[in-house]
Amino acid sequence: MSGERVAPAVLILRDGELFEGEWIGAEPGEAEATGEGGADGRVHGRAEAVAIGEVVFNTALSGYQEIVTDPSYAGQIITFTYPHIGNYGTNPDDDEHERPFCRGIVVRDLARRASSWRSTETLCGFLKRHGVPGIAGIDTRRLTRHLRDSGAVPGAFGTDEATVRAAATGSRPTDGVDLVATVTTDHVYSYGDLDAPLHVVAYDFGIKRTILRHLAGAGCFVEVVPASTPADEVIARSPDGVFLSNGPGDPAAVAGATEAVRSLVGTGIPVFGICLGHQILGRALGGSTFKLPFGHHGANHPVRHEATGRVEITSQNHNYAVDLDSLDRGVTVTHVNLNDGVCEGLALRDEPVFSVQHHPEAGPGPHDAAYLFDEFTGLMAGVAGGTGP
């Protein structure tokens, strides 16, 4: 393994599986060690640093900075299946949020140096600056196979095996936890040109900057509101459309979100949801959600567009899905995941309301689904044929 090393470390899953590696990123023993405890999801003042979270794997071949800064990873430890991470460094333009919310990262090989004209900092330096711990030198193939067989498992990593084992034994999954409350904005802010032809109110369940750039690029002035904003306050802003963003964790645990979206449906205001926004919309339409065995995390997931039969390669990051059998007859399934048959998109037949499970903004990932932003603006502008995907 190449890269900056601090100390030998171990990763232990709650089921007892152990992996040996070396600590990277935020220094072990720092006062701000990630874990369960503080209001910000961190344990402060612990003598022995331990990262605690739900361990998942991401299959993307690039885009590690966007992945680490995606708020949808709150409460989770990210395993990168691609073996060589950090080779092109990091830069401020690729941040999806001002800081990471993940509990840590797991890599096979951390690059010794960054090689890109865009790079302003190494990945290791980036992790240290943001207080994010990591473990390198792990057999990520064995770990990924274990997670595929066992499902996403809570776990912990650190430099003292006894401390890590105790933390792993007591670690908890993300089920039933309102992680959105830890990542959403606490105030209304705007993005884009105030004189843009379309006005969108976006719920911040953990919104990514690339989504805001796509909406602004499609001709939208965006007002971003906290996740707890009631529907009547959104309606009072007289938007041309409402956007439901991505975000972390269990959709059933997001306080007030399902009720707010249910109140927006039927008002005639176009609604577009992505990822967690899709799951919350599904629940608002009378459906239910369930946790996937190990989730969908990566930039290479095939999705079939039901109306055309076209297969789109998509970027995904979620652990929950909408139950197809629970949907009302007035809901059309628009997209299906070809790996496991999970619902990837839905739309109301008689309302300008639709959503997708994947990420059409592709930060990172392919751009096959970018047309969905045009579908949304078409609905808002009343363009002929703009009735959703």
Residues taking part in catalysis: 275, 359, 361
Query: In the chain, what are the helix, strand and coil shares in percent, each to the nearest 5?
Result: 25, 30, 45
Q: Which of 67, 81, 78, 84 is nearest to 104 (CA)?
A: 78
Distance from C-alpha of 336 to C-alpha of 325, rounded to nearest angstrom: 13
Print burial letters for 73-84: b (CB count within 10 Å at least 16), e (below 16).
Answer: bbbbbbbbbbee
Measured between alpha carbons, how far is 375 from 233 in angstroms, rounded to an integer? 25
Sheet strands (E) in 173-217: 189-191, 198-204
Q: Which of 186, 180, 209 is nearest to 97 (CA)?
A: 209
Type of residue found at 255? A
Residue with tokens 């959105």: 180
Strand blocks (E) in 219-375: 220-226, 241-244, 271-274, 289-305, 311-322, 331-337, 343-348, 353-356
Contacts of 382 (CB under 8 A, 6+ apart): none
Cis before 173? omega within 30: no
Q: How far apart are CA 245 and CA 262, in angstroms?
A: 15
Alpha-carbon radius of gyration of the chain: 20
